[in-house]
Amino acid sequence: MPTFDVPGATLDVEFSDEGGQPVVQLHGLTSSRYRDRVLDLDLGRGLSGTRLLRYDARGHGRSTGRLVPEDYRWSVLAEDLLRLLDAWFPGEQVHGVGPSMGCGTLLHAAVRDPDRFSGLTLLVPPTAWETRAAKAEDYREAADLVEREGMVAFVEAGRLAPTPPATVGVPETVPDVREELLPTLLRGAALTDLPAPDALEALRVPTLVLAWVDDPSHPVSTAERLVELIAGSRLRVAETPDDVAGWPARLMYEVTGVL
C-alpha cells in the first residue's frame, strides 16, 4: 500500500481505480478502514466504476502519529484530507463519505474548501455543540482509564455501553490503534467539535446524512441539526441491520446516480 506524509504523521493509503467519479472514504475514532469493513461501515464495498481513495487517519490502523492530542482535532484531520485530495485528485471535485470522526473531518474540510466536494455522505454524526461537552469528559475519563489499566479495561468498559439496534449482530472488535497512542487520541477527540452552525449554514454541497437510533455517542439530534443547517441536505435514519445494509446502495446512487 502507498503511504503519504503529512506534518507529524505518515498515512497509509489504499486506492482502487475503476475510472469514473473520485470518492474518498474515511473512518471513525479508534477505527481504521479495515475495522470499518468488519463493522459494516465500509460503504465503498458497494461502489463500482469509481476511483476510490481510502486511508487510515493519523494514529489509526497502519498510519503513524505523535503523542500530541492537538494533532487529532478534526480541523487537523481535515488538513490531512485536503492534502490527500490535492495529491490524488488535483483540481477535481470529490464525493466524501465517512462515519463519526470521519463525518467531522469531512465537514471541517468542506467548510474550509467547499469547491473540493461534489457531495457528502455523512454516517452516524457524533455528539456536537450542546451534547459535546459531556462526551468530551467521557473521552478524558477513558484516556485516564487506559493509562491506569490498559486497553483491555477500555474494551471491557465499551461492552457495557448500549448497543444500537441497527448494529445487532455486528462482530465484536477492538480499537485498531496502538495502546500507547489511545489516550492521546481520546484526549484529541475531547478537544474538538463540528464546525460552528453558521459556517455549516453557508455550505452549498449536496449532502446525505445517514443516522441510526438509540446511540448516545451518535445521537439522531446531531443528524437532524445538520439537515436543518445544510441547505438541501437529506436524512435517512436506520432502525435495523437491514436498514444499514442498504447504505452502500444509497452511496452508489449519490455518487453515480445508478441504483
Q: What is the mean pLDDT of residues 44-51?
A: 88
Residue 39: per-residue pLDDT:
87
Q: How far apart are the first and last CA of the chain?
A: 30
Residue 48: per-residue pLDDT:
87
For helices 151-159 and 132-149, the axis angle rounded to 10 degrees is: 130
Q: Which residues pair with 9 in a beta bridge?
A: 6
Residue 176: per-residue pLDDT:
96
Give CA–CA dist 50/253, Å, rounded.
12
What single letter denotes the amino acid at residue 213?
Answer: V
The band of 8, judged by pLDDT with boundaries at 50, 70 and 90, is: very high
Residue 159: per-residue pLDDT:
86
Q: What is the mean pLDDT of residues 219-248?
A: 97
- Does residue 163 contact residue 208 with C-beta atoms inside 8 Å? no
Mean pLDDT of the chain: 95
Q: Look at residue 112 and tell me whether its pLDDT is greater than 90.
A: yes
Q: Which of 5, 2, 32 is nearest to 17 (CA)?
A: 2
Q: Give the tens place of pLDDT for each residue, 152-201.
A: 999 999 888 888 999 998 888 899 999 999 999 999 999 999 999 999 99
Residue 172: per-residue pLDDT:
86
Domains of the chain: 3-256 (3.40.50.1820)
Residue 258: per-residue pLDDT:
79
Give CA–CA dist 1/10, Å, rounded.
12
Give CA–CA dist 205/244, Å, rounded.
23
Residue 85: per-residue pLDDT:
98
Q: Look at residue 46 and tell me whether its pLDDT is greater than 80.
A: no
- Torsion from C-alpha of 168, 172, 178, 180, nearest 10 degrees: 90
Q: Which of 119, 109, 118, 139 is nearest to 127 (CA)?
A: 139
Residue 38: per-residue pLDDT:
87
Q: Look at residue 1 and tell me whether its pLDDT is greater than 80.
A: no
Residue 236: per-residue pLDDT:
98
pTM score, whole prediction: 0.97
Q: What percent of the chain has pLDDT over 70?
A: 99
Residue 47: per-residue pLDDT:
87
CA distances 119 to 98, 110, 213, 251, 259, Å, are: 12, 10, 24, 10, 17
The band of 102, judged by pLDDT with boundaries at 50, 70 and 90, is: very high
Q: Look at residue 241 and tell me whether its pLDDT is greater than 80.
A: yes
Looking at per-residue confidence, does 26 or 256 come out higher? 26
